[in-house]
Amino acid sequence: MSNIDQAYTQAKDRYAEFDVDVDEAMGRLKDIAISMHCWQGDDVVGYESVGDISEAGIMATGSYPGRARTPDELRADVLMAMSLIPGTHRLSLHACYAETDGKAVDRSQVTPDQFRNWIEWARENCIGLDFNPTCFAHPMASSGFTLGSHDPAIRQYWIDHCIASRHIGAEMGKALGTPCITNIWVPDGYKDLTADRRTPREYLAQSLDQVLAQPIDPAYNLDAVECKLFGIGSESYVAGSHEFYLGYAVKNQVLLCLDAGHFHPTEEISDKLSSVLLFVPEVLLHVSRGVRWDSDHVVIMSDPLQQIAHEIIRGNYLDRVHVGLDFFDASINRVAAWVIGTRSTIKALLFAMLEPTKQLKDYEVNEDYTSRLALMEEMKTMPFNAVWEYYCGQQDVPGNWRWMEEIKAYEKDVLSERD
Ligand code: RNT
Ligand code: ZN
């Protein structure tokens, strides 16, 4: 028996003492697809050429060499990252990752044709796709407003783009046999004191109504809307705030996207799940790590991440919560950033699955809060890593941090050859 098998067998017995079935947990874990975001690989730049752009606060910082300069490079990097991540996962694309063959294709005119390569590649690699209209980094977004603009022509432009995006999403879902979540985020907001907070929100709601007017089979496409508290250049007002989109999602029964970096720093999205899931059909998560603000740091096994995982598992929400990632760090190896963030998210889910939840809930109901706290604390030092390494082995990926050796080799052979 190998060391890993031996450690696993012992760990399994230790968890069994708490009535935790480790094999059952691993069986459930392998069916959870994390939606990995494509934009970590190229610093949220994309591959169309749109001329003069305003960044609207979406900016990766750092200049680590090896940014994916072409769709082929990005696809290779995604596959490299996924080869080090246990399980089968999804990729979330943005409209700005369209492949236009050198032709200028306006965002309001984008079609599934520009995503054929992505869809073919996803099919070959058994990767589900999710999608996002790109309502930023574009001359038509230079005012800082899109769907909520005072200018009807600007609103119409982005309405057309979002409708086109839903059709692309539906095409992806149809081609791949798994519904695509098309998530709408717009930057609309003001840097400084406002005179009218009402009108842009009314426009935004009207625009969204037009975007979502045509029903699409939920087997192909699911619509999500993403709120935000503030951004760079929209410190004082964001039209699509939490109240705005919570209300919109409840009223229209679309998915609500909760981004971990989009709330006040002391507010955690984990606590929101059991409330919003009473009123919206499903939730999309943008798991991220804010440092002092919505800085989109690489996700690690932090307390907030663990709480998110606990809430999903304790609440039995796996069928209604879609776990997507949203971070971008250009100061470290970008492929490693994906691997660190995605492995951490999967680890947090496994950790949550190895909790004696029933026991804890019994303590709670019986008002034995001492035992509840004591047991939660004890679980933190259970032989979790033995199960994690075994699971990785089962899924044919390195269990311990030797995965970094493969990253180093890829950096030397592939990434360092890029400008
Ligand atoms: C921006 C939102 C949004 C973006 C991506 C690129 O604050 O979090 O989700 O990060 O769409
Ligand atoms: Zn986000």
Domains of the chain: which residue ranges? 32-351
How far apart (Å, rounded) are the C-alpha atoms in residues 221 and 255? 11
| Terminal alpha carbon distance of the chain | 47
In angstroms, what is the C-alpha Rg of the chain?
22
Taking the CA atoms of residue 351, residue 352, residue 355 and residue 361 in that order, the dihedral angle to the nearest 10 degrees is 160
Q: For residue 145, report the distance from its CA to the centre of ligand 1, in Å.
A: 15
How far apart (Å, rounded) are the C-alpha atoms in residues 250 and 269? 17
Structure tokens at 70: 């072409």
138 part of the active site: no
Grade residue 51 by pLDDT with cuts at 50, 70 and 90. Answer: low
pLDDT tens, position by position, 141-175: 999 999 999 999 999 999 999 999 999 999 999 99
259 part of the active site: yes
Kindly give the number of the ligand 1 atom that is closest to the alpha carbon of 261: 8
Ligand 1 in reach of 297 Cβ (< 6 A): no
Is residue 57's pLDDT more than 80?
no
Q: In percent, how much of the chain has pLDDT > 90?
A: 95
Ligand 1 in reach of 226 Cβ (< 6 A): yes
Options 259, 282, 355, 411, the catalytic residue: 259
The whole-chain average pLDDT of the chain stands at 96
Q: For residue 4, report the distance from its CA to the centre of ligand 1, in Å.
A: 39
The backbone torsions φ and ψ at residue 362, rounded to the nearest 5 degrees and listed phi first, read -65, -45
In this predicted structure, what is the pLDDT of residue 419? Answer: 77
In this predicted structure, what is the pLDDT of residue 50? Answer: 64
Grade residue 292 by pLDDT with cuts at 50, 70 and 90. Answer: very high
Site to probe by mutation for ligand 1, drawn from 44, 130, 226, 234 as the one with most ligand atoms within 8 Å of Cβ, is 226
Structure tokens at 379: 């679980």
| Global model pTM greater than 0.95 | yes
The set of long-range contacts for 114-119, using a CB threshold of 8 Å and a minimum separation of 24, is 115/168, 115/171, 115/172, 117/71, 118/71, 118/75, 118/93, 118/172, 119/171, 119/172, 119/175, 119/176
In this predicted structure, what is the pLDDT of residue 82? Answer: 98
Is residue 52's pLDDT more than 80?
no
CATH superfamily of 32-351: Divalent-metal-dependent TIM barrel enzymes (3.20.20.150)
52 part of the active site: no
Q: For residue 39, report the distance from its CA to the centre of ligand 1, in Å.
A: 10
How far apart (Å, rounded) are the C-alpha atoms in residues 410 and 77? 9
User: Residue 397: beta bridge partners?
Assistant: none
The angle that helices 303-314 and 334-353 make with each other, rounded to 10 degrees, is 50
Ligand 1 in reach of 77 Cβ (< 6 A): no
Strands 321-325 and 283-287, how do they pair? Answer: parallel
Options 77, 188, 311, 326, the catalytic residue: 326
How far apart (Å, rounded) are the C-alpha atoms in residues 141 and 188? 9
Structure tokens at 147: 């769907």
pLDDT tens, position by position, 75-97: 999 999 999 999 999 999 999 99
User: Residue 358: beta bridge partners?
Assistant: none
174 part of the active site: no
Ligand 1 in reach of 43 Cβ (< 6 A): no
In this predicted structure, what is the pLDDT of residue 48? Answer: 85
Q: Could you tell me the sign of the dihedral formed by the alpha carbons of 274, 279, 282, 288, in that order?
A: negative
Written as one string, the DSSP assignment of 44-111 is S--S---SS---TT-------S----SHHHHHHHHHHHHTTSSS--EEEEEGGG---TTS---GGG--
Does residue 381 sit in helix, strand or coil?
coil
DSSP type of residue 234: B
The neighbourhood of ligand 2, an ion, using CB within 5 A, equals 259, 286, 326
Which amino acid residue places its CA nearest to atom 2 of ligand 1? 185
385 Cβ contact partners less than 8 Å away, ≥ 6 residues apart: none
120 part of the active site: no
In this predicted structure, what is the pLDDT of residue 54? Answer: 53
DSSP type of residue 332: S
118 part of the active site: no
358 part of the active site: no
Options 160, 296, 329, 389, the catalytic residue: 296
Grade residue 219 by pLDDT with cuts at 50, 70 and 90. Answer: very high
Q: For residue 90, report the distance from its CA to the centre of ligand 1, in Å.
A: 17
Mean pLDDT on 18-33:
98
The angle that helices 71-82 and 334-353 make with each other, rounded to 10 degrees, is 40
Ligand 1 in reach of 259 Cβ (< 6 A): yes
Ligand 1 in reach of 327 Cβ (< 6 A): no
Options 228, 242, 310, 347, the catalytic residue: 228
Among the bound ligands, name the one nearest to the CA of residue 294.
Answer: 1
Asked if residue 176 lies in contact with residue 135, where contact means CB atoms within 8 angstroms, the answer is no
Distances, alpha carbon 93 to alpha carbons 135, 180, 214, 386, 394, in Å: 13, 10, 22, 34, 29
* C-alpha angle 397-349-262 in degrees, rounded to nearest 5: 115
Mean pLDDT on 213-217:
98
Among the bound ligands, name the one nearest to the CA of residue 231.
Answer: 1
Mean pLDDT on 301-310:
98
User: Residue 92: beta bridge partners?
Assistant: 37, 130
The backbone torsions φ and ψ at residue 331, rounded to the nearest 5 degrees and listed phi first, read -100, -5
User: Residue 94: beta bridge partners?
Assistant: 132
Structure tokens at 381: 């030092």
In this predicted structure, what is the pLDDT of residue 416? Answer: 97
Ligand 1 in reach of 58 Cβ (< 6 A): yes
Which amino acid residue places its CA nearest to atom 5 of ligand 1? 326
Find the farthest-apart pair of alpha carbons in the chain and give their distance in angstroms, rounded: 71
How big is the chain, counted in residues?
419
